[in-house]
Structure 1
Amino acid sequence: MNQTIDTATARRMAEAGTIRGVSIIGQPGGWSVMLKTGMLEKPLGGQKTDKPRTWRSLDTLTEYLRKDLSIVRIDGVDATHHSSADVHRPGRPDAAARMKRAHEAAAHDAWFRAQVDAGIKEADDPATQWISNEDAEASMEKLLTRLEAEGKGRGTN
């Protein structure tokens, strides 16, 4: 028999109106939720385990209850055993690195989009002077010839 109620079941129970009460219980490292159904009271469990789910922040927990489970009434908060010590969670350096990469990618994406927008704006500007492909190639050929001559003058090939 499950010791906890998973999120999907809790969502269905909330929609059916079978949850009779909700309490938030403080514990070392965070907060958990107790759901009352009839004469039974069970903790809200994690997704992949039959262990009570915990939240570090009371604000995050209440937001989760409101948005994900449509629970807006909480019978009580028991902070007797709550402490902010993070005793249950191991460190996640992989998550920090993943978030850093995600932020870097988002920043690069924003920069890239700004560059594209600026290019489109410049291309659409009637005052923009266009250079033909032939003129661009001729200009590049002159530049390469000049750089080769300068390189030979310094004794390099």
Structure 2
Amino acid sequence: MKQRRAPVATQNLDHANLSKMAESGRVHATHIVGQPGGWAVQVCVNDQEHILTAQRSGGVRLFKKFETLVAYLQGLGIDHFEVDTTDYDPLTVKTYQRPDRAAALRQAHEAAAYENWFAAQVEASLQDPSPVIDHEEARRHFAARRAALKSRPH
């Protein structure tokens, strides 16, 4: 038995607008359409097909994992949908790594480690039982040492 293929979407729809439409009950039908690389979402609103787009790129939003897509739709209150696997190829779905995020996390961890080290150094300094010398006394002490060094024969 051949599955009905979802119609081609004519309008783009971002998350904010889809959320509003789902909340107001204007979504009449939802189709999950397999694509090379993942799953796309098409919804029917007022007899027009809309496709969910990514907010940053404006391109079709693809979900790599079907479970993530189902959770996303359930979060919007959409729990009935048709699935079209015609163009889905699990071999083209690849997870991708974001080296920019890895670098940012590494920097955040390094910064946190430095902050901890610095706080420990400050605390150790505050707890140090050595006598404290005020600024003027330190200036006089080092001025005397400089004078002694200058007066030495070369």
Shorter-chain-normalised TM-score: which range? 0.5 to 0.7
Q: 1:116 aligns with which of 115, 118, 143?
A: 118
Q: Which residue of 1 aligns with 2:39?
A: 31
**Residues 25 and 33 in structure 1, CA contact (< 8 A), matched pair in contact too:** yes
Give SS of 1:104's match: helix
Give SS of 2:105's match: helix
Task: Return structure 1 stretches of 4+ with deviation > 6 angstroms.
Answer: 134-139
Greater share of strand: 2
Please, what is the CA RMSD of the aligned residues?
A: 3.8
**Counterpart mapping for 1:50-65 below 5 A:** 51-65=59-73
Q: Does 1:133 align with 2:153?
A: no
Q: Which amino acid aligns with 1:129?
A: P
**Counterpart mapping for 1:35-50 below 5 A:** 35-47=43-55, 48-49=57-58
Q: TM-score normalised to the size of structure 2?
A: 0.61
How far did residue 26 of structure 1 move?
Answer: 1.4
Q: 2:88 aligns with which of 55, 77, 82?
A: 82
Q: Which amino acid aligns with 1:133?
A: I
- Name the % identity: 24
Q: TM-score normalised to the size of structure 1?
A: 0.60
Provide the rounded CA distance (Å) in 1 between the counterparts of 2:122 and 2:77.
49
Give SS of 2:116's match: helix
**Residues 26 and 79 in structure 1, CA contact (< 8 A), matched pair in contact too:** yes
Q: Which amino acid aligns with 1:105?
A: Q
Bigger drift between 35-44 and 104-113 goes to 35-44
